[in-house]
């Protein structure tokens, strides 16, 4: 049996803790939109019309330089939310979001979401937590791009994937190209460093399947001083 709009909303971390009655008005105003892999949800600089809730699939948040270079800010998997930051300041979307696979997203207009936040203070607090999480991600990314080598950043990212998977063996959630975009480099450099990690006994790699053989060694790489 297909989940109702209210049930789908309840799975999004932003709405955890709200009662079915509190979710009702948001569910009634949510519009479901479907996107194919490679299709844009919205582009950087476009006016912010509302918040997007990722109900199914994965999306990539990224920025593009005037020269065309792309940097991945985050990859979000359902259930999650994107476009939280500009909801309250009235500014445009600060980054672009593209579907990495078939995606079902729920869209709630800014005015409806603001009204819900005024009515339910817990939602406003969760919104602040989501914005804070996004800010921490960006600060960590800036620090990595500014101070860390590709090898150091890649080691840290592999450890992060392992923690998210809760296991030493996992399937990379991103392609080598997506990893390169996140790390501010090119695909060949990512592939070369993965090969070096494997040669050094830090990981075992087969396609996108990764096993962390020496997490402590990777951690030393990630924390190495320049």
Which residue from 38, 3, 39 is spatially nearest to 20, judged by alpha carbons? 3
Tell whether the model's pLDDT for residue 100 goes beyond 60.
yes
Q: What is the pLDDT of residues 31-66, one digit of tens each?
A: 999 999 999 999 999 999 999 999 999 999 998 877
Query: Looking at residue 13, what DSSP letter applies?
Result: G
Q: Give the SS3 label for residue 35.
A: strand
- The band of 145, judged by pLDDT with boundaries at 50, 70 and 90, is low
By the 8 A CB rule, do 33 and 105 touch?
A: yes
Contacts of 66 (CB under 8 A, 6+ apart): none
By the 8 A CB rule, do 18 and 10 touch?
A: yes
Distances (CA, A) of 67 to 63, 64, 70, 81: 12, 8, 9, 29
Rg over CA atoms, the chain:
19
pTM score = 0.67
Q: Which of 46-55, 180-189, 196-205 has the lowest mean pLDDT?
A: 180-189
């Amino acid at each position: 049996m297909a989940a109702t709009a209210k049930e789908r909303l309840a799975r999004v971390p932003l709405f955890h803790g709200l009662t079915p009655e509190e979710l009702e008005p948001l569910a009634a105003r949510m519009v479901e939109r479907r996107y194919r892999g490679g299709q844009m949800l919205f582009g950087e600089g476009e006016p912010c019309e509302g918040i997007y809730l990722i109900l199914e699939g994965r999306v990539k948040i990224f920025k593009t330089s005037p020269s065309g270079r792309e940097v991945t800010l985050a990859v979000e998997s359902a259930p999650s939310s994107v476009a939280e930051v500009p909801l309250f300041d009235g500014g445009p979307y600060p980054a672009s979001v593209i579907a990495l696979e078939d995606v079902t997203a729920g869209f709630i207009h800014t005015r409806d979401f603001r009204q819900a936040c005024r009515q339910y203070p817990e939602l406003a607090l969760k919104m602040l937590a989501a914005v804070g999480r996004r800010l921490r991600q960006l600060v960590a990314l800036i620090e990595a791009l500014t101070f860390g080598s590709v090898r150091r950043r890649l080691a840290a990212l592999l450890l992060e994937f392992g923690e998210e998977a809760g296991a030493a063996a996992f399937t990379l959630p991103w392609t080598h190209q997506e990893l390169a975009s996140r790390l501010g480099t090119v695909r060949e450099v990512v592939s070369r460093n993965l090969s070096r990690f494997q040669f050094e006994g830090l990981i075992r790699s087969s396609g996108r399947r990764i096993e962390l053989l020496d997490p402590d060694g990777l951690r030393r790489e990630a924390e190495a001083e320049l």
